[in-house]
Amino acid sequence: MAIIINLDVMMAKRKMSLNELSQKVGLTTVNLSILKTGKAKGVRFDTLEAICKTLKCQPGDILEYNANESEN
């Protein structure tokens, strides 16, 4: 897939565990794990907003587009 999820990078930079982020954002750890591993088919804007607010980052810090990946 051409979209790369860097959620684990931002969590590491903020020294935040998956459980802590889950509690602050209001999502289950399972759903966050699916997003973190890139297995999610999509993400709602309100979820992305909550993650960005909690991690004090921009959506572009979490989501990245890599054109080379779309060619595979």
Domains and CATH numbers, the chain: 3-63 (1.10.260.40)
Taking the CA of residue 25 as centre, how many other CA atoms within 13 Å lie in the half-sphere pointing to its CB? 28
The tens place of each residue's pLDDT in the chain, 72 residues long, gives: 789 999 999 999 999 999 999 999 999 999 999 999 989 999 999 999 999 999 999 999 999 998 887 665
Q: Quick one: pLDDT at residue 67?
A: 84
How far is the CA of 34 from the CAs of 4, 13, 67, 68, in angstroms? 13, 20, 22, 23
Q: Backbone phi, then psi, for 58, in 5-degree steps?
A: -100, 155
Full-prediction pTM beyond 0.85?
yes
Q: What was the pLDDT predicted at 25?
A: 95
